[in-house]
Amino acid sequence: AQRVTQPEKLLSVFKGAPVELKCNYSYSGSPELFWYVQYSRQRLQLLLRHISRESIKGFTADLNKGETSFHLKKPFAQEEDSAMYYCALTTGANNLFFGTGTRLTVIP
Amino acid sequence: NAGVTQTPKFQVLKTGQSMTLQCAQDMNHEYMSWYRQDPGMGLRLIHYSVGAGITDQGEVPNGYNVSRSTTEDFPLRLLSAAPSQTSVYFCASSYGRVASNTEAFFGQGTRLTVV
């Protein structure tokens, strides 16, 4: 069965410090992975997807199949990065399997 | 362009009551889904639709019905509300099936409390 694990419910970092939000998954096939973000009083929205290997708002995430991880990283955190972050996996059957989320707080 | 619109934003129901959560999208998306989010858990798929007239069950479908008579609308019906259905409900739509090149767009959520 598919499973997405985000081990940290809460994460606080100082502005300018590096940030890493952890995501591990279990799936026997080839996963397609995403990071979704929910800013305060806004709706859930896509941040980035592993297939595009892009950097969005300074965030990157690399799929590590050996470690079954898809950690989200940013070298210098900004206050506007404070939000709830969800890692999600799809098997292609129109279902997104979400982790429980990590609330990131960037301290000024 | 409103995107995905859910109504109501908040609702309190008594056990046994029925109600319909509304979801509408104006992006001409074929795929629409309903998720629920419980405290300490990720979003879980309730039902989804791949086009008008076509629906299927997700991970947690019991106690809910859906129909898709138009491309724009995908209502979620609670047949007989139970306290276990207290949750935040999210509707989502996408142009195609959720895949690496397809983004899911979410509504703002409906917070439902069943007492």
pLDDT one-digit tens code per residue, A37-87: 999 989 999 998 887 778 889 999 988 989 999 999 999 999 999 999 999
Q: Does B107 touch chain A (CB under 8 A)?
A: yes
Cross-chain residue pair B31–A94, CB shorter than 8 Å: yes
How many residue pairs from chains A and B have C-beta atoms closer than 8 A?
61
What fold does the segment set A3-107 form as a domain? Answer: Immunoglobulin-like (2.60.40)
Tens digits of residue pLDDT in B79-104: 999 999 999 999 999 987 776 667 88
- Write the CB contacts of A44 (distance below 8 Å, at least 6 apart in sequence): A36, A37, A38, A86, B90, B106
Give the one of A44, A88, A92 whose C-beta lies nearest to B97's C-beta: A92
Residue of A104, A83, A108, A98 whose CA lies nearest to A19: A104
Q: Which chain A residues touch B if contact means CB-CB below 8 Å?
A: 4, 32, 43-46, 49-52, 86, 88, 90, 92-101
H or E element that contains B11: strand B10-13
Q: How far does Cα A7 stand from its chain's mean position?
A: 12
Write down the domain spans for chain A: 3-107
- Residue B9 sits at the chain A interface (C-beta within 8 Å): no
> Residue B13 has which token pair?
């129901």
**Percent residues over pLDDT 90 in chain A:** 69
Interchain proximity B97–A97, CB inside 8 Å: no
Q: Give yes or no for B90 touching A (CB within 8 A).
A: yes
Is the pLDDT at A91 greater than 90? The verdict is no
The CA R_g of chain A, rounded to the nearest whole Å, is 13
